[in-house]
Each structure stands twice: as C-alpha cells, then as structure tokens.
Amino acid sequence: MSVNSNGLLYFEHLQPPPSDRKPTAQNEEAASDSSKEKQEDLGLWQEKFGSFLDIKAHGPTSIGMDFSLHGYDHVYGIPQHTETLLLKNTSDGDAYRLYNLDIFGHKIHDKIGIYGSVPLLLAHKPNRTSGIFWLNSSETLVDISTKAVAEHTPSRSASETAKQRAVPLTDVRWMSESGIIDVFLLMGPSAFDVFKQFAQLTGTQALPPLFSLGYHQCRWNYEDEQDVKAVDAGFDAHDIPYDVIWLDIEHTDGKRYFTWDKKKFQNPRKMQEHLRKKKRKLVVIVDPHIKVDPSYPLYAQAKEKGYFVKDRNGQDFEGICWPGSSCYLDFTNPEVRKWYSDQFAFKTYKASTNILFVWNDMNEPSVFKGAELTMQKDAVHYNNWEHRDVHNLYGFYQQMATAEGLIRRSSGKERPFVLTRSFFAGSQKYGAVWTGDNTAEWSYLKISIPMLLTINMVGISFCGADVGGFIGDPEPELLVRWYQAGAYQPFFRGHSNMESKRREPWLFGEKNTQIIRRAIRERYVLLPYLYTLFYRAHTAAEPVMRSLWIEFPGKVETFDVENEYMLGNALLVHPVTEKEAKTVTVLFPGPEEIWYDFRKFKRVEDAGTVKIPVTLENIPVFQRGGTVIPLKTSAGKSTEWMIDISYELHVALDAEACSIGELYVDDGHSFKYLHKKQFLHRKFSFNKNILSSSCVDESGQYHTTCVVERVIILGFGKQPTFVTASAKDGKKKEVVFTYDMKTSALTLENLALSVDADWEICIS
C-alpha cells in the first residue's frame, strides 16, 4: 500500500476570517439576497444549499488523501449504501458518500449515504487482506479507481528476458469536509487479522441477550394493549415461536418519548406482566428529538440544563419532527448522556419494567424540512464542535447513552438490547442496527444480503433488514422468501409501515403460515450455533455473517459473490431471492471442500457451481465438511421456553473424516459470564471415529442440566457395528444408532451426555 502516490494529500490551512469578511447577521441577509457580488464577499466562509445557508464558523476546512493498493482489484466496506458487495469504480459516476441521512424509499444502487457510516474500507487479493480506517465523522466522499498497470520484472540472468505483465491497482481517495487526517492502515495479513485490528481500535460486538437472537414482531404500529395481546396470542395459536413484540411511535403520548398514550395503553405494566408470563419481551421506540413543550418534563429539564444542540446563534436548535417543533439532545456531551441514561431508571421511566428494551430511530438525526432532512451543519454541539464535525456520530452517541441507561437500571447486572438506525465505527459495542426503510420488492430482498455482509465486515455483526420490506405490501411468496432469508441472518425482525396491510405470519393462508412457521423454527433450533458465533464476534471480532471470500481467501471465484454467504465458518446460505424460482445456482467452494445439505444430510455431489432444485419450502443451506454445529432438538414458544431443551450435534466430516466445532453457553442475559466467569465453552472434535467433548476455556464454569441427546454424523462411510459412549473416567455404555445408506448419515440417539462434562463416543 502506498500513500499519496497520486499527490492528493491536502488540508486547508485554518485562517482567521478577514475582518471585513467575518460572517455576521447582516452578511447572512446579504447572502440570502441573490446579489452575486455580495455573496462572493463571504467567499468560502459560507455556502448556500437550496434555501439553506451554511455559515462556516471556522472557515473553509477540508482534508483528503489518496492510497494506492498494489495488486488489489477487490475492495469492500464503507457502509451504508444500497449497493453491491464489491465497491465499484467511481471514475465515471458519483463517489461513495458517507453522510448519515434518513432517505424514505431510498433507491437501489445508489452511492448516496443512508442512515449509518463506517469509514473502513477493506481490500482483498488472494490470501491477503488490508484495511484503511479513515477516522472522521464529517461528510466524507470516497473515490475508487481500479485499473491494470504494467509491472516490469527485470531479468534475473543474462539468458532471461525482462517481462512486462499487467497487475491490478486500486486507488482510493478519501475526502472529508472537516476535522483532521487520522487514518489507520490495517495490515492484516488475513481478513480475520484486519477484523481484530479494527476491533482493537473500535471494540467488538456486544454479546446480545439470547432473547434478542429470537424472532421479533414489529409494526408501525401495534395499536393498543388489546392488539398486543391478540398478536401475542396469535403466535401461540399458530405455534410460531417469537421473543419480542415492538411498539412504534404511536404508543407515546403525542410523540413524547418515555411516556404512554393513556387511552391506548391504560396499563402498560400489566401488559408487560402478561408478556413476562409468556416469557417474552417488549421493545419500545425512543427517538432523539424532544417535543418543544414546557409541560413535558424531559423537555423542560433539558432546556433548563442547556442539553440541546444549539443553532449558530446560540439558541436551542429547533426542527420539525414527529411531535412537531422539536429540540435535539446533544448526545456528544457526556453529561447529557449520563442524564439521558438516567431516564431509563425504572422509577423515572413510568411503567417500564425489566422486560422492556429500546429502539433508537431517526437519529441521523432526521429533521423534517432540514437540509437533506437532517440538521444544519452550522448547528453547535458541546465544546463548540460544529454539527458538520460530528454529524455521523450523532446516532452512535444516542445508542451509547441508551445502552448505558439499560445497564444502569439493572445496577450493572443485565445486558442491554438497543436497536439503532444510525451508526458509526464502534456501534457494535452498544447493540444492533437495521437497514432502515426498505421496500417490499424482490430487489430489496436481494440487495439486503450484500448490505448486511458489508455491515458485518466493518465490525457490526448484529444487523438485519426489515423482513417483508417496510414500505408497501409484499406478495405472499416474497414474504415467505424473506422469512426464510431472515431466519439465517443475525437480527431477525418482521416490520411494516403504517400504510402497509397487516402482516402477521398467519395472515397468508395455511400453506404460507406453515412454511413461515418452519423457517422461524429452524432459526430457534439453530440458536446454540448462532449464540456461539456471537460469542466469537464478542471475544475474537469474527463476523457472524461472512462473505465467501473471508472463508475462502484464496479462491478468486468467491471474491464478488453476494447472493450467498457463510454463517460462521460452517453454514453456506443461499437465500432464494427470485420470484417463482425452481432452482438456485449455488457456488460451492472446492474442490477440497465437502458440502452437505443441512436438512437432508446428503452430500452435494459436485463442487463448483451447481443448480439446486427448490420448492417454496426450501431454504438452500449447506454444512461444510469439517465442522460440528450445535443445535437444539426442538423449538419452543420463545428462547426462555427452550432453556432445558436438549442439544443435537451435526458432525459433518471432511475429506479426512474429521471435524471440529464449538458450543458456548451461559445464562443468556446477565454479565455473569464476564464478571463471574459463569459460562461454558466446549469443543467437539471428531477424529479416527471418536467424537470427543472437551473444554475450551477452563476459566469458565456454568451448571446446566441440559444434555446432548442426539448426534448426527454426516458423510460416515460405512455401517458401524458397535457404538459406545463414555464419560472420561466413567463407564462405557452402548449407544443406539441408525445408519442411512442413502445419505451416509449416522444418527446416535438417547445419548444423555452432559454438556458441561468431557466424554467420548467411539464408533467401530
């Protein structure tokens, strides 16, 4: 990698405003006057944007720099855009823009920034990954140009002639509106090294409470307590697991967050007690704009304490949002964050209980009638930072304060769950993100995969897209396909717009209900694996959802694949994103890899690109040979109903008839795994016809009565004669088994092997 090889390193020299040019109220008037001459007086100290005037208190500020990536022609990262996984050449179009915006009905294949930004770019060539982290939270543009250059190889001996060959080169140019050049070059050499290096700078994924990996049911809006109860009961009536029901902005008293609409929610505490008995949770929305209303305590207090963002004249910045005239809390101020997090205390947030968790929306921040629907850049934050300097951090800080609030209300004991729409580098420490207002069309289902892969690549594993598509009404087939895709993505929530028709999973006929039920149940059964992956994300910065190239860094054919991905290192997922699909074309990286159908256990015959037949029921998911996946033997009504359900291991053999995998278990909700080391981290390995369970981390201990009940070994070559199981220093006992000649799957039943003890299964 070389820096400034195109000579594009630059920075504005800060200069005192010439006294005759100093921006004043008069000049401002003058500028809004169309007289060109007067406008030029202020030169670069102001800018007009539509009807908005941006006065630059510090004058012109901008910085930029270029990087050349030698040998690379695949670059990724810098979310969030509705774009392909592989970043495109920008030389004949728009640059990628990083500027958090609320764009309702955003278009597909657009380089304008939406909602969140992470200024991390990754570059990959065979077996080598590098990263560039441009730490700047002002509006940023990234230009990318990939080309082939001639490389001259001098002759090594008299007999050899000098050679010319074409090698790829990618130039990346970063430009930011303000701030300093603060850039980190992450040298890998592997993608996993880059993830670790980035995590050292920005933190790792917070370990989610287990319930939040279940299915979430959301809508704008669930109307009232009766509606909530009825939807909750609908899940039981249709035997569909779910963990969380959500309340959007209409649950509040006039969009005053932390309050309840007294007519629709007369007894929110009782409603939560009802959900608690069902072992389920509630998530409510809490937006950052605060209604201008002196009788609203939150507004009155924040006003009095000076906690709002100011306009350039030092008054509280006022914008229009859901509640009408609103002020915006200045989350960049640590004192404001502390105060805000105190608002989540049970005694302060009336009728909130410990099953209530939080959703932060509109935190780009969204300002109706603002320039590009956001806050003016010349608004002023804590310590006199202009909004232009910190824009992309606004949502990050709100989520930080919210997560701290939820931790603090539990006296530091419980893990928070906070979903945010806006994000920045490091948001992974505070919870989950989603991709905002997508549309109920096939193309949005398709683009959600590269969008989520990109977000995962920059540290934020816990992300998802609204299942079904937020805007509009999905045809039933699309809804079904979206559930099947979402079931194998990190954050799994169905959500729909106010104008959309109701969309609870049982409203589309018995057949579709059944298929959706099956997809959600597959998700619940898979949770031990998913939770283990989140533990790896939390402790080792490994993304949960991975583009193929991350797992197969030497295989060029995987570098631009964005219609399938790996969930951890063991599952290959290829969601169906075409209407009326009869087949999907799956790329199975090979040839040394072996792949098995995750549900039918049968080995995939050929490597490479294979046409797999599908029906509406199928989710094309494949297990990689050499891996062990822990599952539950069945699903329950919610994650909490499943605590005692036993485990099942899927042991998929590789070419050497070996495999290896892990299981992480803890109480699923507290910080005891951290402070009291109450967890289990187990390893399962299969070698020479022996499957053994051992401990990965001796420092952790956790008691569970759960057992491993069933083991399915995929790709077992022959019918065994005898199978025994033994605890490390205990008695051997014979195991009941069945062998399926057609699939070569060997099933061992009624094992009752402790999860928290060492044991061995020998097959002869």
Of 462, 459, 464, 463, the C-alpha closest to 540 is: 459
Measured from the CB atom, is 45 or 115 closer to ligand MIG?
115
Identify which of residues 469 and 490 has a Cβ nearer to ligand MIG in the complex. Answer: 469
Q: Phi, psi at residue 249, to the nearest 5°?
A: -55, -25
Angle between helices 476-486 and 510-525 (to 10 degrees): 10
For ligand MIG, the closer CB: 219 or 280: 219
Question: Quick count: other Cβ atoms within 10 Å of Cβ 233?
Answer: 12
Choice among 177, 225, 261, 361 that is catalytic: 361
**Contact of 321 with 287, CB cutoff 8 Å:** yes
**Residue 611: strand pairing partners:** 585
Buried b or exposed e, range 535-574, using 16+ CB within 10 angstroms: bbbbeebbbbbbbbbbbbbebeebbebbbbbbbbbbbbbb
Shortest Cβ distance from residue 116 to ligand MIG (Å)? 12
Alpha-carbon gap, residue 182 to 194, rounded angstroms:
18
Least Å from the CB of residue 474 to ligand MIG: 16
Of residues 416, 414, 420, 378, the one with CA closest to residue 399: 420
Nearer to ligand MIG, 474 or 620 (CB): 474
Q: CB 245 → ligand MIG: shortest distance, Å?
A: 14
- Two structure tokens written together for 381: 């934050």
Least distance between ligand MIG and beta carbon 94 (Å): 24
Considering the complex, state which of residue 440 and residue 530 has its C-beta at the smaller distance from ligand MIG: 440
- Asked if 94 is an active-site residue, the reply is no
Binding-site ranges for ligand MIG (CB under 6 A): 104, 220, 248-249, 285, 361, 421, 436-437, 470, 495
Given the complex with ligand MIG, which of 136 and 489 has the nearer CB atom?
A: 489
Nearest residue (CB) to ligand MIG, 11 versus 368: 368
- At residue 175, what are phi and psi to the nearest 5 degrees? -135, 130
The residue whose two tokens read 């968790």 is 357
Minimum CB–partner distance for residue 734 and ligand MIG (Å)? 55
Catalytic site residue 361? Answer: yes
Q: Which is nearer to ligand MIG, 249 or 748 (CB)?
A: 249
- As a whole number of angstroms, the distance between CA 226 and CA 214 comes to 23
Q: Is 348 exposed, middle or buried (0-12, 13-18, 19+ CB in 10 A)?
A: middle
Return the sign of the alpha-carbon dihedral for residues 639, 640, 645, 651. positive
One of 139, 316, 437, 709 is an active-site residue; which one? 437
Nearest-approach distance from CB 340 to ligand MIG, in angstroms: 19
CB of 248 vs ligand MIG, minimal distance in Å: 5
Residue 519 is classified by DSSP as: H
- What the block records as the tokens of 733 is 């006992």
Q: Which is nearer to ligand MIG, 49 or 104 (CB)?
A: 104
> Least distance to ligand MIG from the beta carbon of 218, Å?
7
DSSP line for 388-432:
HHHGGGHHHHHHHHHHHHHHHHTTT-B---EEESS--TTGGGT-E
**Residue sitting closest to ligand MIG (CB):** 220
Provide the greatest CA pair distance for the chain: 96
User: Known catalytic residue: 580?
Assistant: no
Q: How far is the CB of 255 from ligand MIG (least distance, A)?
A: 9
Residue 133 and residue 122: Cα distance in Å, rounded? Answer: 9
Number of CB atoms found within 10 A of residue 740's CB: 14
Q: Which one of the listed residues 171, 364, 389, 640 is annotated catalytic? A: 364
Tell me the catalytic residues.
361, 364, 437
